[in-house]
Every structure is written in C-alpha cells, then in structure tokens.
Amino acid sequence: MDIVPYSPVNALSHHFFERETSEVARDLIGAVIVRELGGITLAGRIVETEAYLHETDAASHSFRGRTKRNEAMFGEAARLYVYRIYGIHLCANIVTETEGRGAAVLLRAVEPLAGLEEMMRRRNTTQTRQLSKRQLCKKQLCNGPGKLAQAFGFSLDDNHQSLLQTPLYVLPANEPYEVAVSPRIGITKAADALLRFYLPASPFVSPSKWK
C-alpha cells in the first residue's frame, strides 16, 4: 500500500512554540497537525487559531491565575492544554511561551487531510439521529474547536502531551499563506483584541460573523 506521507522528521520544534503567542497563532495557519491514534493517521491543515495571552488577557483562562483546570496552560511550550467547555465539548490548545507564563493557542478549525473515515466515525459516535437524515460532510468535520477536538479524539487525559514527536506533532506550512485577523469568537472580555487568525479563502473555517 501507500507510504503515509506524514513523518515527524521536519516537525516544528520547541523553539517555534516558545515565541510570543500571537506570532505562534499566526504562523500556525497553514501548518499541518498530525496525530497517530490507534494505528490510524489523522492529519489536518490548520486554518483558524486564536491566541490567549497571559495575565494581561481577561479572556484567557490563565487571567485569574493557576488552577487545577488550567494547570497545563502554565506548563512548558509545545504541549497540549485541553479543557471542557459548556459542560459538553472539549477544546484543544497548544501551550506557548516560557513555562509558568500561562499562554496558549486555541485550535479552532482544520482542513481534514488524512484519516477522514476515522474522523467521521468519531464525530458520529454521540449522534443518535439517523445517518441518512444529515450525513456529515468533509466541511463539517473540523470547522470548530469542539468538532476538531472530537474528530481528533482529544480528551482531558491528553493534557500535557507533547506535540514534538510521534504520535502527535505539527508540520510547517509548505507554502506562504495570506492570513486574516479578527476579534476572537464567543468571548465577552477583551472582545476587541485582534487575536483570531484564519485563512480567508478556506471553506473549512468555523461559521462566524467575521467569516
């Protein structure tokens, strides 16, 4: 069969994620996140991110200091911070900057590249409705933070997991992309800060008033 075209050899290094959070969030647009899960390769091109800064950012979980929930956000760069939102969904973040800082990049949407069958299966597991009624299409697999986390099988147990080697790593963008900027989605504090980055031409970004 085919050789899987994904290898951690050229994966982004610790240095990439140590930088200032909004720079990391912007530079992650076009990068490819790869996860080996149960012998299956899941991969997606990152098309939408948000930067959550340290103690000066009222919208960030780290704003009120370190707690059990946000502990992973204060860990070293290039590790996962996963949290539960609205009691139902999970959101996956990549920790940035220096250890103890409390900054991260939220992964909001990716374009599915590999493992689509598996993503579709994971996105359907909690669906009790008939498949024929509203079949999930490629665009709906990962176009939102909760959807992305579900498709890639992220869980609270994945907190602190490294993104620097198999089974989880990020490959740099293979071409330069024109990145658009907007306010972040779904927040009330610091709502005017331009810390959301996305590919304006991509049909795989999450549905929002900013397009």
Partner DNA sequence: GCAAGGATCTAA
Partner DNA sequence: TAGATCCTTGCC
The residue (of 52 and 177) whose beta carbon lies closer to DNA is: 52
Give the shortest CB-141-to-DNA separation in angstroms. 9
Task: Considering the complex, state which of residue 35 and residue 196 has its C-beta at the smaller distance from DNA.
Answer: 196
Place of tokens 């994971």: 122
Taking the complex as a whole, how short is the minimal distance between the CB of residue 126 and DNA, in angstroms? 8
The encoded tokens of residue 133 equal 């009624």
Decide whether 11 or 33 has the Cβ nearer to DNA. Answer: 33
Coil, strand or helix at 201: coil
- Cβ closer to DNA: 143 or 161? 143
Q: What are φ and ψ of residue 22, in 5° steps?
A: -70, -30
Chain contacts with DNA (rule: CB under 7 A): 50, 52, 59-62, 64, 67-70, 84-89, 91, 93, 104, 106, 123, 127, 129, 134, 140, 144-148, 184-189, 206
Nearest partner of 106 among 52, 43, 147, 164, judged by Cα: 52
Q: How far apart are CA 75 and CA 58, in angstroms?
A: 19
Q: What is the dihedral of CA 81, 84, 90, 96, to 10 degrees?
A: -20
d(CA 135, CA 122): 13
